[in-house]
Amino acid sequence: MQKNLKKLEGNLKVKFKNIDLLRSSLVHRSYLNEHKDFPLDHNERLEFLGDAVLELAVTDHLFNNYKEAEGILTNWRSSLVNGDRLAQAAEAIGIYDFLHLSKGESQDSNKKARSYILANAFEAVVGAIFLDQGYKKAEKFIKDNLIVQLDQIIADKAYIDAKSMFQEKSQEVLSVTPRYKVMSESGPDHNKKFVIGVYLEKELIAKGEGYSKQEAQSQAAANGLKKKKSQK
């Protein structure tokens, strides 16, 4: 099914010379499994390109506008280009409604899976803009839709990851270092889901889940921070 992309071009504020580049950036691999005659490739190569353009644009902006040390700039960049933030930016633009997905993917209610698809699509759209319009246009798109969030990230200290923040607070208040324990694993080896608990000494503070131990630990720490904040 060929989707009319004029509305999306309006949302992106980009008028494509080659609309097939934009269309291809919206094609999930799963769609081609069900539509063998679809004339375009899936978006993974554009995603690969867009990831590099995105990192360059964000790095360039940080280098030229801030005098902080490398470690701080790296944390700010990581916070800007993390998957959840890219997915939120893609959602705000309305990209999801234009994606070509398999029936299974389009009916999947898993928020994490949707977020992952959206983040990849955002990078693919950046790649498409870069190929169609050049670096300056791609850079403007990134500034307007992503870098614009930087001031709020800095104000909220959102660049400090949840694990680091939870450890800092735990040591500051209780002089205790958090420890993480896998509570359960489920699913096949290639798509295993972990539930991990974060403990202060012997007390279970919160749980988190994810498709990697790192992701589950980060969610557990974030939930721990929320719990401790609500108890104040």
In CATH terms, the fold of domain 6-156 is Ribonuclease iii, N-terminal Endonuclease Domain; Chain A (1.10.1520)
Mean pLDDT, residues 50-71: 95
Domain-by-domain residue ranges, the chain? 6-156, 162-230
More confident residue, 71 or 94: 94
pLDDT given at position 75: 84
Helical residues (DSSP H) of the chain, grouped into ranges: 6-12, 19-25, 29-34, 44-65, 70-81, 83-93, 103-107, 111-133, 135-145, 150-156, 162-174, 213-230
pLDDT of residue 229: 76
Tens-digit pLDDT profile for residues 89-129:
999 999 999 999 988 887 766 777 888 899 999 999 999 99
Q: Considering the chain, what is the average pLDDT of its residues? A: 90
pLDDT of residue 232: 59
Domain 162-230: which topology? Double Stranded RNA Binding Domain (3.30.160)
Residue 42 pLDDT: 92
**Mean pLDDT score, 131-143:** 98
Q: What is the pLDDT of residue 87?
A: 93
**Residues known to be catalytic:** 51, 123
